[in-house]
């Protein structure tokens, strides 16, 4: 039962262009969503988060959009840089029930930014 | 301003041996989470602990795995009688205020290899 899904295993983008990574979830108890970036042999690095009371959060080149009715969120990176090449994980947590405390992760999307 | 620390970074064990993985949370954090990443998969929640208490161990295998977070010292994830299927990257995360809208920060992970 995959409650958080990243349906694109990989994404290739040209430097300077926009990268859009997508994530869908099924558990309506989720109320906090995060994006992490991960390099090989390292731990996930927190990028940006959004609470369910918002529909957009921006931090520098990174913007996360949340569409609660569609149970969908996306991460936009503008402009994309070669150093952004990594695996990006979407994660969600909730305030109650079985989603309390723990993060539920998607499978990850490998982003490659070409110079 | 040390982040989450984990040791060892790499651990090799033979089948039947015990593995002990240690995690020191970020300064000021009292909530610790353990996750496991199997090859080609996303991170999966294992256990959530506060000082001297296990809050949620719903992701822990029923046998051979245990976790603790004592009043003093690091959190320990213990795997008894390891099998080849335990080979994975084990990540620890910590947060300051507790779950839901609190960001979890990850350590670099311990890569366990069972021969």
Kindly report the nearest CA distance between residue A48 and chain B, in angstroms: 9
Sort out which chain B residues have CB atoms less than 8 A from A95's CB and list them.
99-100
Do the chains contact at B42 and A106, CB–CB below 8 Å? yes
Q: Which CA distances in Å does A33 have to A63, A64, B55, B99, B103?
A: 13, 9, 21, 12, 9
Cβ contacts of A104 within 8 Å, gap of 6 or more = A3, A4, A25, A27, A30, A91, A92, A93, B45
pLDDT of residue B105 exceeding 70, the answer is: yes
Residue pLDDT, tens place only, B25-42: 999 888 999 999 988 788
Contact A33, A94 (CB under 8 A): no
Do the chains contact at B99 and A93, CB–CB below 8 Å? yes
Residue written as token pair 């979407």: A90
Query: Considering CB atoms only, which of B31, B45, B100 is closest to A94?
Result: B100
Sort out which chain B residues have CB atoms less than 8 A from A104's CB and list them.
45
pLDDT of residue B98 exceeding 90, the answer is: no
Cβ contacts of B91 within 8 Å, gap of 6 or more = A43, A44, B6, B34, B35, B36, B37, B43, B106, B107, B109
At A31 the pLDDT is: 87
Residues of chain B whose C-beta is under 8 A from some C-beta in A? 4, 6, 31, 33, 35, 41-45, 48, 55-56, 58-59, 91, 93, 98-101, 103-109, 111
Residue pLDDT, tens place only, A57-81: 999 999 999 999 999 999 999 999 9
């Amino acid at each position: 039962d995959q409650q958080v899904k990243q349906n694109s295993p990989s994404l290739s983008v040209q430097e300077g262009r926009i990268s859009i990574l997508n994530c869908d979830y099924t558990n309506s108890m989720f109320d906090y969503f995060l994006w992490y970036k991960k390099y090989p042999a390292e731990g996930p690095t927190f990028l940006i988060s959004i609470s369910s009371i918002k529909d957009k959060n921006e931090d520098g080149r990174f913007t996360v959009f949340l569409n609660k009715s569609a149970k969908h969120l996306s991460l936009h990176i503008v402009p994309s840089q070669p150093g952004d090449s990594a695996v990006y994980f979407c994660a969600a947590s909730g305030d109650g029930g079985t989603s309390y405390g723990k993060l539920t992760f998607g499978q990850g999307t490998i982003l490659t930014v070409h110079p | 301003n040390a982040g989450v620390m984990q040791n060892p970074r790499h651990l090799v064990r033979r089948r039947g041996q015990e593995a002990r993985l240690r995690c020191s949370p970020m300064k000021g954090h009292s909530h610790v989470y353990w996750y496991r990443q199997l090859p080609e998969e996303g991170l999966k929640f294992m256990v959530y602990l506060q000082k001297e208490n296990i809050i949620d161990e719903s992701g822990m295998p029923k046998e051979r795995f245990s976790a603790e977070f004592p009043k003093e010292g690091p959190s320990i994830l213990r795997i008894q009688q390891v099998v080849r299927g335990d080979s994975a990257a084990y990540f620890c995360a910590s947060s300051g205020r507790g779950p839901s809208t609190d960001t979890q920060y990850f350590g670099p992970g311990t890569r366990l290899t069972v021969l």
